[in-house]
Amino acid sequence: MSFVKDTVNTTPIVDNVFGVVDMANKAAAKLGADAVTNATIGSLYDENGKLAALDVVFDSLKNLDNTHLAKYAISFTGNPAFREEVENWVLPKDLKLAREVVATPGGTGAVASSILSTLEEGQTLIIPEIAWGSYALMAQMNNLELARYSLFEEDHFNLDSFKKTCLEVLDRQNRLVVILNDPCHNPTGYSLSNEEWEQVIAFLNDCSQKAPVVLINDIAYIDFSYRGMAARDYMLQFDKISDDVAVVVCFSLSKSMTSYGLRCGAAIILAQKEESVRLIRIVMEKEARAIWSNINNGAMEMFVDVMENRFDEYDAEKQAYVDLLRQRSGIFLQEAAACGLSHYPYKEGFFITLDMDNDTRDRFFDALVKKNIYTVKVNKGIRVAICSLPIEKVKGLAPKMKEIFDSVQG
């Protein structure tokens, strides 16, 4: 006899990260921190091994009156001032599309609600072959199938595979829902060029002649792009979408504000017609009320305060971390190039991922552990979290990994 619904998959989640973090911590406790390289943690850490928490963000939060921290949000779609500031911050000024913003519990809530609002049980969600693991879990929990496109062809986005996957799904389905996690893709650090985006949009417009298309653009890491606000320029391509394409930009305060635990983000719904946007918003609002009700009021007020009153301080504090990330990735990439350690095309972001088949990955991972180097296995690769590795640990890491890689090849 089972108490859970018959259709649910009851296989427990295998947490790839938790186990290896634990191994790394135990090794550090036994051998001392200097002997261990812990490249597992997917949050931003400073050079002293401490979680980066922007002062401006938490000063603002703690400055709020207790009643503001205590109270419900003004509406199920989020506070109006929050929605307005999210729109101002995320979207390029010149974008003309109709839009509405719905506050969500982090980027997770935005992506999950986008999927739940648009696909029927049994339909197929399109995601990249190398991707944040939660997409597949969201599909599983909603009884959806997955189709995966290969992410790269040599050192660029694999548009052919993307097209082929979409067309195959369109053959059997009356709606196309695709996820593009860009810029600063997790876990490879790839960002599509504006030309690549232009091609993606042109293709989705073609598809929309057959069926409505929803593009879920997960921008969780956008504020750690090395291009500053220019990293949003690609969104101007969205103005070219046909009437039968909708875009949901999924924004998260977790990384942008270093406020992972506050659980605040937003779904920004874009389409040519107001009525198309309104329909998606109505469904998302009902889902919000049915699942999480409303969003952390303090987090939303903090975001508004930072954007309106403390912006310069925020910008400077965050930029120092962007610069740090760039320095760490620069060292790793330079050393990797010098010793011939192969990786997926990295442009910016929290992670660099070494490319290999899954058999090699498993052997390589075990050999790394034996040398006290802790990483995370991803599909077809090994993820190196430069976001949490101090510069001194990054230095020399690529050649060490290359030596270990060569030893498992023979």
Residues that bind ligand PLP (CB under 6 A): 106-108, 132, 181, 186, 218, 220, 252, 254, 260, 265
CB 350 to ligand PLP: min, Å: 8
CA distance 176 to 245: 9
The nearer residue to ligand PLP, 254 or 272, going by C-beta atoms, is 254
Q: How many residues would you count in the chain?
A: 410
Distances (CA, A) of 96 to 46, 91, 199, 235, 240: 39, 10, 20, 11, 10
CB of 371 to ligand PLP, least distance (A): 27
Cα–Cα separations (whole angstroms), residue 29 to 24, 25, 249, 286, 397? 9, 6, 42, 48, 21
Q: What minimum distance in Å lies between the beta carbon of 153 and ligand PLP?
A: 21
User: What are the angstrom distances between the C-alpha of 78 and each of 9, 170, 324?
Assistant: 32, 34, 33
Closest to ligand PLP by CB, 106 vs 381, is 106
Burial of 62: CB neighbours in 10 Å, binned 0-12, 13-18, 19+: exposed
Instruction: Report, in Å, the least distance between residue 111 CB and ligand PLP.
Output: 6
Shortest Å distance, C-beta 257 to ligand PLP: 10
- Residue closer to ligand PLP, measured from CB, 173 or 181: 181
CB of 101 to ligand PLP, least distance (A): 15
CA distances for 404 relative to 19, 334, 359, 371, 392, angstroms: 22, 18, 15, 9, 19
Q: Closest approach of Cβ 92 to ligand PLP, in Å?
A: 21
Indicate the residue whose CB is closest to ligand PLP: 106
Nearer CB in complex with ligand PLP: 43/372: 43
Nearer Cβ to ligand PLP (103/246) = 103
User: By C-beta, is 78 or 107 nearer to ligand PLP?
Assistant: 107
d(CA 282, CA 296): 20
Distance CA 310, CA 307 (A): 6
Contact 410, 349 (CB under 8 A): no
Phi–psi pair at 254, nearest 5 degrees: -50, -50
